[in-house]
Amino acid sequence: MADTFERLIQLISSQHHLDTSTVTPETGLADAGLDSLAVAELLFSIEETFGVDLGDVAPDAVPATVGEIVALIDSHRTPS
């Protein structure tokens, strides 16, 4: 999870030009500076960056925190 978290934070920082120095797994996506459009863009970038297929994430299943996104990524990764 730590590796996924760090890579996700780097992705958020570079893609959305946000200061992620205070972001923790418990940080809400809105609190991190991501609106709904930014979250949708982030999910597409996650698929490319992490090599996972998240499929169609239903609107009511969109993660609310950074930690929930990390868990979603990890649940779709194949063990190496």
The pLDDT tens digits for 43-70 are 999 999 999 998 877 778 889 999 999 9
Rounded to 5°, angle at Cα 52 from 50 and 54 = 125
Q: Tell me the whole-structure pTM to 2 decimals.
A: 0.88
Determine contact, residues 66/10, Cβ cutoff 8 Å: no
- List domains and CATH numbers for the chain: 2-76 (1.10.1200.10)
Query: What are the residues whose beta carbons fall under 8 Å from the beta carbon of 42, sequence distance 6 or more?
Result: 11, 12, 15, 16, 34, 69
Helix and strand numbers, DSSP H then E, in the chain? 3, 0
